[in-house]
Amino acid sequence: MNTLIAYFSYTGHTKGVAQQLQNLTGGTLFEIQPQEAYSSDYDITERQGRKETHDGYRPLLTEQVSNLDSYDTILLGTPNWFNTVTPPVATFLSENDFSGKKIALFCSNGGGGLGHTVSDIRFICKGADVLDSLSIYEDGGADVKAKLMAWLNKNGLNQ
Ligand SMILES: Cc1cc2nc3c(=O)[nH]c(=O)nc-3n(C[C@H](O)[C@H](O)[C@H](O)COP(=O)(O)O)c2cc1C
């Protein structure tokens, strides 16, 4: 199994989970970053994120994965923003071809669960095999490692 762990994180929760998944799977970490970073002021980012999500805006990214063909499995991390994937993750999904690849979503959220992130990913990534997704409340809490291991096992992604 050749695994890419691609994620965007604003306040660090998704990043922490992605790092734990890297430890568990030995996969390659890739941080999805917009060319214009979001403001550290939460209220400004909340307003901007709401507008971008509403408009279906897809921000330019700082870099692309150069060798996506060499990965068969993508562990995709995003916070839940307004019930969907964050705009940088939407850009990442739409700029790459995931057909024939497995995508397993892990979605950090503030209580809204997965929202409609899964159907959005299926819509953008036609031809991908979208596996069982994982909703994580904020940083996942003390037993996050056990939750991640169970999720990897369920998807047949344990090493
Ligand atoms: C712009 C914005 C919109 C958000 N919208 C939602 C939402 O609709 N539902 C929800 O449960 N959490 C929402 N949240 C909370 C985040 O999903 C949650 O804090 C998550 O753990 C953040 O992950 P991160 O630290 O990787 O950025 C939102 C946060 C931001 C900044």
12 lines ligand 1 (CB under 6 A): yes
| pLDDT tens digits, 52-82 | 999 999 999 999 998 999 999 999 999 999 9
Domain assignments of the chain as residue spans, ordered by start: 3-154
Band (3; pLDDT cuts 50, 70, 90): very high
pLDDT value of residue 66 = 86
The rounded distance, in Å, linking the Cα atoms of 109 and 101 is 25
pLDDT at 159 over 80: no
Whose CA is closest to atom 7 on ligand 1? Answer: 82
* Architecture label for domain 3-154: 3-Layer(aba) Sandwich (3.40)
pLDDT at 126 over 80: yes
pTM: predicted TM-score of the whole model, two decimal places: 0.98
> Candidates 5, 43, 81: which one to mutate for ligand 1, based on the most atoms within 8 Å of Cβ?
81
Residue 33: Cβ-neighbour burial (10 angstroms; 0-12, 13-18, 19+): middle
